[in-house]
């Protein structure tokens, strides 16, 4: 509405307590201050905004805008103070289109218990840069008759955003300052307006204060009054009971001679009984009784059903020539048992003969009694513990013969078998246990102690095919199983102690063997946990530096990317993690089969956390960023960054972080802002373990480097040489041997 901005600034006063006339020719210098001193609310249309100034005693003010269907277009919400401003935008920050809108203005003053409310309409026509403002009806005169009208201060000819202001000429008609009739332009109270070209004119529909609708009349006498004929072209008229009538009612009902009357109140419809030829009596024979009336209904006469009347297959007509009620009586060895609607007749005690298999003979009669057949008893028929069924797979009559060093001596019903010439026991040294008998078999002593006279290996195991040595700890079903292998390095008072376990993988032309392969034990318990593959604990040094739990170096190779460690899975570090450089490395998103993609970490001397996001300010240019509920407990020393997106605008942090949130304000509404907040950790662990940015090297590590090659220093200046010189000399020797043209099997 740029042309409307350039025309002038208009003051429109809504009177709440009494009619108010604002001084003529208002100025822009201090309109809000002048209006606040009067008993009224001033509306100022200026620069595409609707400013409202209420009396200075106002505690709270609110403006609500509604569309034609009653939907909310804009709501300022209750605002403290006497002033508010609306930029003709809806709740989404979009410009409202041309059309008719309703408004409600609510003001709560300090000396008033209930708020005052004024309702009216806004008509916006953007094509002509015009805005009309009404109060409960059409625009009033320059001196309003009552507070229900809109009061406008005017000169010889004043316009509100370009629309003429009329006045009441005493007859109730609205006229301009030159006597022109403005009724077609401004409309009539109670009449629903419509757009007629570029003007707002009356429609034929009106509504009174009781909500009664009139069509063609302005004085409806019911919920709907129509001055004329109501026509329905489809669907008919629906009544409260849900029925619909689509045609006019009948004047009378046509029918045949079986009915009488015409269906009106004076001649209702009825049955013409003589025309129905209804029987007065029923003829029957002796098998039926009654005459078919209500007092004597038809029925089957007692004894009226004879055998001839019963269809075949329906009942038992006779039993062995007997009729009526017949009874069955059980004789000798006969049993009659009723079951529901059935009778069971049986002779349970009669036995003709006995059937049997080949293990028996006879038929069970006196002439041929039952008996066990010869050979009829097989091993399966003999109960356990009764006889010796077989001996080493032999049956019938079995003989035992004594062999070498064996004697067989019968004694009553028993046999004594002995080997008198065998050894009684075996003598052993401390490396074995037992005497070789069944009661005390030979075995390796536990623990096994082997002592050698020199530096050569005490135990050497060679297996050209399988595993050289396999150690399995004892299995404990209740508590904890024993260790499979426990190794302790030799002690040394002057130099360094011996290694507990030293393992070297085998050489190969293809891939060398692993020095150590460790796998934790499995847990079969549903709530249990598998064992760790490797647990390493550095040695203690009360007066020096404790030992390293695991110290690893990558092997020598042409590719300098040799790794000291590689983990497939999640890694958890419960303590300080130090590194020379950090990055993530993934399969390249554009060529995952052939390339990797790496990004370095963001470093800081502080233990810093970073939070960011995007947010859009509301119609007042404000937005609140809500951070996690633990934010202030975790962080301190906050830093902020704001970047405006999509337009030129200014953005500031209006209020800093408090209660895990902060507020952003922009100089215009609906601005998208990208924000970033950083904080330094202040949790208990961070406070106790602050990163030491600069520190002195221990005495034995001075002159050595984490990465000697970047300072043009030899490998012997590596920190590993300061900590484990003997191990590094061995590693260096292995690397030199690997470079020389020796056999792959040389160690």
62 and 202 belong to one structural domain: no
Q: 492 or 595: which carries more pLDDT confidence? A: 595
Confidence tier at 153 by pLDDT (50, 70, 90): very low
Domain residues for the domain of 84 are 2-189
Confidence tier at 181 by pLDDT (50, 70, 90): very low
The count of domains in the chain is 4
50 and 112 belong to one structural domain: yes
Whether the predicted pLDDT of 712 surpasses 90: yes
- What is the helix, strand, coil percentage profile of the chain, to 5? 10, 25, 65
CATH code for the domain in which residue 171 is found? 2.60.40.4070
Domain final residue, candidates 141, 168, 189? 189
At 167 the pLDDT is: 35
For residue 69, the Cα-to-chain-centroid distance in whole angstroms is: 37
740 and 638 belong to one structural domain: no
Q: Does residue 283 lie within any of the structural domains?
A: no
Confidence tier at 643 by pLDDT (50, 70, 90): very high
Beta bridge partners of 161: none
- pTM surpassing 0.75? no
Q: Does residue 620 lie within any of the structural domains?
A: yes
Tokens of 43: 């509306």
Confidence tier at 194 by pLDDT (50, 70, 90): low
For residue 19, give the nearest of 199, 151, 130 by alpha carbon.
151
3-state secondary structure of 273: helix
**Quick one: average pLDDT of 154-160?**
32
Q: What is the distance between the alpha carbons of residues 323 and 320, in angstroms, rounded to a whole number?
A: 9
Q: Does residue 132 lie within any of the structural domains?
A: yes
Buried-state track 127-164, b at ≥16 Cβ within 10 A, e below 16: eebbbbbbbebbbbbbebeebebbbbbbeeebebbbbb
48 and 183 belong to one structural domain: yes
Residue 227 carries which DSSP code? Answer: S
646 and 728 belong to one structural domain: no
| CA atoms within a 13 Å half-sphere pointing along the CA-CB vector of 524 | 1
Residue with the two structure tokens 């034609």: 68
Q: Does residue 487 lie within any of the structural domains?
A: no
Q: What is the distance between the alpha carbons of residues 128 and 199, in angstroms, rounded to a whole number?
A: 11
65 and 119 belong to one structural domain: yes
Q: What is the distance between the alpha carbons of residues 622 and 615, in angstroms, rounded to a whole number?
A: 10
Domain final residue, candidates 667, 688, 709? 688
Tokens of 529: 């946990």
Q: What is the distance between the alpha carbons of residues 728 and 716, in angstroms, rounded to a whole number?
A: 8
Q: What is the distance between the alpha carbons of residues 248 and 375, in angstroms, rounded to a whole number?
A: 110
- To the nearest 10°, the Cα dihedral for 557, 561, 565, 566? -120
Q: What is the distance between the alpha carbons of residues 242 and 240, in angstroms, rounded to a whole number?
A: 5
What is the C-alpha radius of gyration for the chain, rounded to an integer number of angstroms? 57
Whether the predicted pLDDT of 159 surpasses 50: no
CATH code for the domain in which residue 644 is found? 2.60.40
734 and 682 belong to one structural domain: no
Confidence tier at 137 by pLDDT (50, 70, 90): very low
54 and 108 belong to one structural domain: yes
3-state secondary structure of 663: strand
61 and 135 belong to one structural domain: yes
Q: Does residue 85 lie within any of the structural domains?
A: yes
Q: Which helix (H) or strand (E) holds 77?
A: none
Q: Does residue 142 lie within any of the structural domains?
A: yes
pLDDT digits (tens, 9 = 90+) for 250-290: 667 778 878 888 777 788 887 777 777 666 667 788 888 88
Residue 308 carries which DSSP code? Answer: G
Neighbours of 112 (CB within 10 A): 14
21 and 133 belong to one structural domain: yes
pLDDT digits (tens, 9 = 90+) for 521-537: 777 777 777 677 677 77
24 and 171 belong to one structural domain: yes
12 and 27 belong to one structural domain: yes
**Quick one: average pLDDT of 488-499?**
58
Domain final residue, candidates 664, 688, 712? 688
Is the bond leading into 447 cis (omega within 30 degrees of zero)? yes
Q: Does residue 490 lie within any of the structural domains?
A: no
Residue 226 carries which DSSP code? Answer: E
Between CA 463 and CA 475, with CA 469 as vertex, the angle to 5 degrees is: 145
Q: 217 or 366: which carries more pLDDT confidence? A: 217
Tokens of 607: 């233990």
- Do the Cβ atoms of 92 and 123 come closer than 8 Å? no
Q: What is the distance between the alpha carbons of residues 63 and 52, in angstroms, rounded to a whole number?
A: 9
Neighbours of 236 (CB within 10 A): 12
pLDDT digits (tens, 9 = 90+) for 327-368: 888 887 788 888 888 888 887 776 667 788 888 888 778 888
Q: Does residue 54 lie within any of the structural domains?
A: yes
Whether the predicted pLDDT of 496 surpasses 70: no
pLDDT digits (tens, 9 = 90+) for 80-107: 999 998 988 998 999 999 888 888 989 9
Tokens of 367: 């002439």
């Amino acid at each position: 509405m740029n042309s409307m901005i350039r025309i002038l600034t208009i003051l429109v006063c809504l009177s709440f307590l009494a009619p108010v006339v604002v001084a003529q020719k208002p100025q822009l210098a201090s309109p809000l201050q002048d209006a606040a001193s009067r008993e009224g609310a001033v509306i100022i249309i200026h620069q595409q905004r609707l400013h409202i100034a209420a009396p200075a005693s106002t505690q709270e003010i609110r403006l609500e805008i509604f569309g034609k269907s009653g939907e909310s277009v804009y709501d300022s919400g209750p605002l403290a103070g006497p002033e508010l401003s609306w930029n003709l935008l809806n709740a989404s920050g979009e410009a409202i289109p041309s059309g008719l809108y309703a408004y409600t203005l609510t003001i709560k003053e300090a000396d008033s218990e209930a708020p005052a409310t004024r309702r009216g309409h806004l008509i916006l026509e953007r094509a002509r840069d015009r805005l009309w403002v009404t109060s409960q009806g059409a625009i009033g005169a320059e001196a309003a008759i009552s507070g229900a009208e809109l009061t406008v201060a005017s000169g010889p000819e004043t316009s509100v955003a370009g629309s003429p202001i009329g006045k009441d000429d005493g007859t109730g008609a609205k006229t301009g300052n030159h006597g022109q009739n403005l009724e077609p332009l401004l409309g009539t109270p109670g009449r629903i307006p419509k757009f007629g070209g570029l003007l707002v004119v009356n429609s034929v529909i009106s509504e009174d204060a009781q909500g009664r609708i009139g069509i063609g009349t302005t004085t409806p006498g019911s919920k709907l009054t129509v001055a004329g004929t109501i026509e329905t072209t489809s669907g008919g008229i629906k009544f409260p009971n849900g029925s619909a009538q689509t045609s006019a009612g009948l004047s009378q009902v046509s029918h045949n001679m079986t009915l009488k009357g015409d269906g009106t109140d004076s001649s209702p419809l009825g049955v013409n009984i003589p025309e129905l030829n209804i029987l007065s009596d029923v003829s029957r024979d002796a098998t039926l009784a009654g005459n078919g009336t209500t007092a004597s209904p038809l029925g089957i006469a007692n004894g009226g059903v004879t055998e001839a009347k019963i269809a075949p297959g329906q009942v038992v007509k006779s039993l062995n020539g007997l009729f009526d009620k017949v009874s069955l009586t059980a004789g000798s060895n006969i049993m009659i048992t009723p079951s529901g609607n059935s009778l069971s007749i049986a002779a349970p005690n009669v036995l003709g003969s006995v059937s049997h298999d080949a293990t028996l003979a006879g038929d069970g009669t006196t002439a041929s009694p039952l008996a066990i057949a010869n050979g009829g008893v097989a091993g399966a028929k003999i109960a356990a513990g009764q006889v010796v069924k077989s001996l080493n797979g032999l049956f019938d009559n079995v003989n035992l013969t004594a062999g070498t060093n064996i004697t067989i001596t019968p004694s009553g019903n028993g046999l004594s078998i002995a080997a008198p010439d065998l050894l009684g026991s075996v003598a052993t040294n401390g490396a074995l246990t037992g005497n070789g008998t069944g009661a005390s078999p030979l075995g390796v002593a536990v623990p096994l102690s082997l002592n050698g006279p020199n530096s050569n290996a005490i135990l050497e195991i060679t297996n050209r095919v399988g595993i050289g040595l396999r150690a399995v700890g004892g299995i404990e079903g209740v508590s904890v199983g024993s260790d499979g292998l426990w190794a302790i390095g030799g002690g040394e008072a002057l130099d360094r102690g011996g290694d507990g376990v030293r393992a070297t993988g085998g050489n190969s032309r293809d891939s060398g063997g692993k020095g150590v392969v460790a796998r934790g034990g499995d847990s079969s318990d549903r709530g249990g946990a598998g064992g760790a593959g490797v647990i390493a604990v550095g040695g203690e040094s009360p007066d020096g530096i404790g030992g390293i739990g695991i110290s690893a170096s990558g092997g020598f190779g042409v590719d300098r990317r040799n790794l000291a460690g590689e983990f497939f899975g999640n890694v958890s570090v419960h303590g300080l993690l130090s590194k020379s450089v950090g990055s993530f490395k993934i399969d390249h998103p554009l060529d995952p089969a052939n390339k990797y993609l790496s990004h370095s970490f963001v470093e800081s001397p502080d233990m810093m956390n970073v939070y960011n996001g995007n947010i859009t300010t509301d119609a007042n240019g404000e937005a609140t960023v809500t951070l996690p509920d633990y934010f202030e407990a975790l962080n301190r020393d906050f830093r902020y960054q704001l970047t405006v997106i999509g337009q030129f605008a200014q953005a500031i942090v209006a209020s800093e972080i408090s209660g895990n949130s902060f507020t952003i304000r922009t100089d215009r509404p609906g601005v998208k802002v990208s924000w970033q907040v950083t904080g330094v950790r202040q949790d208990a662990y961070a406070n106790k373990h602050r990163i030491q940015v600069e520190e002195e090297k221990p005495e034995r590590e001075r002159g050595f480097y984490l990465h000697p090659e970047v300072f043009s220093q030899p490998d012997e200046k590596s920190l590993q040489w300061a900590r484990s010189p003997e191990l590094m000399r061995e590693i260096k020797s292995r690397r030199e041997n690997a470079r020389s043209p020796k056999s792959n099997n040389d160690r």
